[in-house]
Every structure is written in structure tokens, then in C-alpha cells.
Structure 1
């Protein structure tokens, strides 16, 4: 005879099992079954002849430039250093035989820099925009200390990480809308969706990119525009200061290949399966404990990183 306690327990287990299944199935389709079994959902080569990439002389930005050139796109490379732009443009041009334009601007500048960019891309058949340029903290630091050490640095984070995204989208969207097709890839960060104390302004700026991308896609989905917000964890780049790639910290080329494979499956994505696993671990940890405890855990971790960075600086390393 089934007791009321056993019946209640069975119902509770059934509800939990259903919720896990309902969460897991879409996740598995977006991150595993879709990209790896069905292949890319969007043929990016059909959206236009030119791709515009900001922050394109190193790391993820350069990897996007190479990957898109390999697919036959002509490129507009935008970054601060003219010499680096010339070097990267020559390297990609020699390897992939595509047309390349370069525009040297400092995204920490004022709104006038976008006049230069607009003049440089005017009349081009732009199908892809990659908003990659970004600025982070040199090491984890308390908000007030960061401000007192360099007030302009915090202003620069907002200018580079937020204003660049909104202004570049405003520049390229008219062309995409006229042709009823286009892809916008906004590079956010996993710091936007997990506790990131001591990186407060950086993580908040990337959370803006998440929200902006989500609502921008809703506005223009019906006009043939695809928006992908990429939330990388650690990638072996100069910004992350990771010199040696590993499974959890892939090379920029490996990361971008994964991100392009997932294009069209989801608006917001870590774009790399091991990083997705870390995101799930965070959600599970928060579910088992509570938000304050989880935030405290990350705070302790970043405090340790801060102490190590200050120690290296004191030794002149």
C-alpha cells in the first residue's frame, strides 16, 4: 500500500526530474546536438561581402578576422595601433587573398571617432559586424581604489566596452536592414553573468552588452538580422594574461571556430562547451547554497588573484 508520504515523494521527484529534463534538452540541442550533429544553423557566407571587426589586431578579434577571411569575406579591421593593423592586414591578405581596409581609432576617444569609421565603411556591402574591442582591469581591484588610482580608466572602460558596441551597431545596421540580412556578433564575457567583485565596472559593462544584444535581436529579428552575444570564459590572449592554451583556456582560433559553429542557435552563449560547463557549475552551486555564499566564494577567489598580482608588481615582475 502506497503511503501519502511515498506518493508525495514520487510527485516531488517527478517534478524535479521534469524540470531537469526541460532545462537539459534545450541546452543539449543548442550546445551539442545542434552544432555538432546538424551543423551551422546559419550560412554566414550569404549575408554580405564585407566583415567589420573592432579590436582586430590580437586575440579573439584577430581570430575572427582570420576565420571570416577564410570564408571569403573582405575585411575592415579597426583598432588603435596603425602599425599592428598594417602587420595583421598584410598577414591575412597574404594567406587568404582577400581585400582589407584598416581604420586606426582609439575607442576611448569621443564620438568624433565614429565619423572617421563611418567614412571608412561607407558604401561597403557589410554583412558581419564583430564588436570585439574591450578593456578590462589590469588586475582585480576594489572599485574605489581603481577610481582613485586612475579616474579616466573607469571612463575608458565604459567608452570602449559600451559606447563602441552601440555606435558600431548604429553605423552598420542601416546597410543590413536595406538588404534584409546581416550578422552582429557582440563579445561580452562570462564575468557578466557570474559574481565578479573586484572587476565591478568591467563586469557591469559586459552585462550591458548582454542585455543590449538580447533586446536588439528582438527588435530586428523580423528584418533578417542575427545577433549573437558571446560570453567567453578564459581564452589564451594578452588580455587574460594566459600564455599557454589548455582545454579550459583555448586558443583564440579554437574559441572562434566554436562560436561560429553555434551561430544562430542562441542569442547569448559561452560558445565553448567547457566554458558552458563552468556556467552550469555556477548555477548548480547557487542552487545548492545561496547567492550571497556564491558571491563570497568568487570574491575570495578574486582576492587571491589580486594579492598575487600586487605581489608580482612589488617585485617588479
Structure 2
């Protein structure tokens, strides 16, 4: 009789624990689904009026890819644009397109973000008289055109320094330049472009992945520090977007075009401070987090398979790089 009672009690306790666990996960996934619906669906119909942040938007790396797409999308939404990049001819081409197509004012600043700290006093002077409402820290670079081991980076002494200057120093220094006046006005938006490569460690993209996780942590910490001052800091972590960095891979269900991504990502402003930018990339992030966890990604087996994949793509990458260079000429 006593054993039966104990068994019944044990079954009841386990049932309660199971019910509580099921309820916890049901509520958790319901909340995540609602947040995803709000960020990626509701935002399509009720986007924030970006003009409320201020008159000017500054975009780094603004002559191609995601940066160019952000600049054009921001102009469409009524902001004047400061374009910063290293190629003066391309800067003026994008500026002319924005002025003629959308009737917005533009300014261009020619600079090379790989050169280090010496470039920022000149940028500060050129931004001094502007009411900057939005800063898009987009400029970034990989250290090789393909997946490689750390020691196989071409010209490593120069290249690694360039990547750190471009991917890390630019974000912190540009933020330092514009943030004080945003705090004074109690209004501003800083958008930092990180990467899905920062969501988990990425062997054979080691330096790129490491610099992008800096961008992610910097953005999220900064948002916590300054949102009470009226300044929002959004971290955007795109998956694959068809740009020069991705060798202009064909757009499909999983790969976004730069203009489409920029439009979707800007819609998430005000809805999320940490976003994949679009629904398809968010779903890919969830799938990879579940199916491709850290322990597998960092395993010797996975690295060997990545090496094998990289070898099979070498010729295609070389052809894509050559085509991109020819197109830019």
C-alpha cells in the first residue's frame, strides 16, 4: 500500500514537472514567434519615420553593396546623406543618383578606413556643421577572398591590420565622432552592420568572425548605455547578401539582394536593437543555431569538410573576383 502511494506521488510530481517544462517552452516559443512577427512582419506595415532622428544620415562604405543600398533607401525615406568611402568617382556617382532620383542633399567624404586613426580628424571637421540623426557603420572587409587558415592570409602583416582598422576601429571612432551631439539632442540612431559570422565562432573566417563579434558586443553594450539618453544603437547581423564581398552570388530564396535587405532591415528600426535584418535570414539563423552548434562547427571533422569545400570553390571564386574587378573598371 505504501509502495503504491509512493509510486503515485512520484508519477504526480513528474507530471507536474513535465507540465511546467512544457508550459515554459510553449510560452518561450510563443514569445519568440510574437517578437519575430512584430519585427519582421508588423514593421513592414508600420515602419518608424526615420526623419524623426534628424536631417542627415552618414553611411560608411557607401559606394557598393549594403552601404550603397542603405544610403539610397535612407534618401528614399527623406534624409540627406553623407557618403563616406575610398573611391571618389564612385562617391560622386552615388551622390548624383541620390540627388537626381530622390531630391536629397548629399555630401561626400573620400577616405580609406584601412589607414587607421589618422583619418578621423578630417572626417570630424567635415561633419561638424551637420545635424546627424543616423549613422550607419557599414564599412567592412574580409581578409581573404575565400575560406583560409589564419596563417594562409595573403600578405598577413598588412592585411590583418587593415581588417582590424576597417571592421573595428571605424565603428568605434565614427561612433565617437557623432554620439556626443546625439546625446545633446537626446535623439539619434546608430546602425552597426555585424554579420551572421559573429553569431558563433567561424573557423577559416577567424579574423572576420572575431572582428564582427566585437561589433555585436560593442553595439549591444552601447545601446544599454545610451538608450536612456534617447540614442538607439541597432546591431544588424545579415546572413548572405549578394555583394562584391560574396562575389555577387545569385539572389534566391535564401540570398537577399542588397536593396531588398536594406529596405527590410531599416523597417526593423524601432522594433529591435539586435536583428538579422530580414525574416529569411532570421529563420536561417535559428536553423543553424539548432542544426549546426558550436561543438560541431569547431570540430576537426567540420574544419576538414570546410577545407574540402573551399578547394572545390577556388576556381569559381577566382572567376567571380575577376568579373567583379572588370565590372568595377
Displacement, 1:53?
0.1
1:81 aligns with 2:92: no
Displacement, 1:72?
1.1
Displacement, 1:242?
3.3
Equivalent of 1:267 in 258, 263, 273? 273
Alignment of 1:34-183 (within 5 A): 34-37=39-42, 39-40=45-46, 42-136=48-142, 137-146=144-153, 149-183=155-189
Partner of 1:293: 296
What TM-score, normalized to structure 1?
0.91
SS of equivalent residue, structure 2 residue 58: strand
Segment of structure 1 superposing worse, 257-266 or 97-106? 257-266
- Please tell me whether the aligned partners of residues 191 and 235 of structure 2 are also in contact (alpha carbons under 8 angstroms): yes
CA distance in 2: counterparts of 1:298 and 1:228, whole angstroms: 32
Displacement, 1:5?
6.3
Which structure has the greater CA radius of gyration? 2
CA distance in 1: counterparts of 2:270 and 2:23, whole angstroms: 27
What TM-score, normalized to structure 2?
0.87
Displacement, 1:293?
2.3
- Please tell me whether the aligned partners of residues 216 and 227 of structure 1 are also in contact (alpha carbons under 8 angstroms): yes
Where do 5+ consecutive residues of structure 2 fail to align?
Answer: 323-329
Partner of 2:203: 197
Partner of 1:236: 242
Alignment of 1:19-34 (within 5 A): 19-34=24-39
Segment of structure 1 superposing worse, 265-274 or 68-77? 265-274
Q: Across the two proteins, how many residue pairs are aligned to each other?
A: 313
Segment of structure 1 superposing worse, 233-242 or 50-59? 233-242
Displacement, 1:28?
2.2
RMSD of the alignment, in Å? 2.4
- Please tell me whether the aligned partners of residues 40 and 279 of structure 2 are also in contact (alpha carbons under 8 angstroms): no
Where do 5+ consecutive residues of structure 1 fail to align?
Answer: none
1:227 aligns with 2:233: yes
CA distance in 2: counterparts of 1:300 and 1:249, whole angstroms: 25
- Please tell me whether the aligned partners of residues 176 and 182 of structure 1 are also in contact (alpha carbons under 8 angstroms): yes
1:304 aligns with 2:311: no
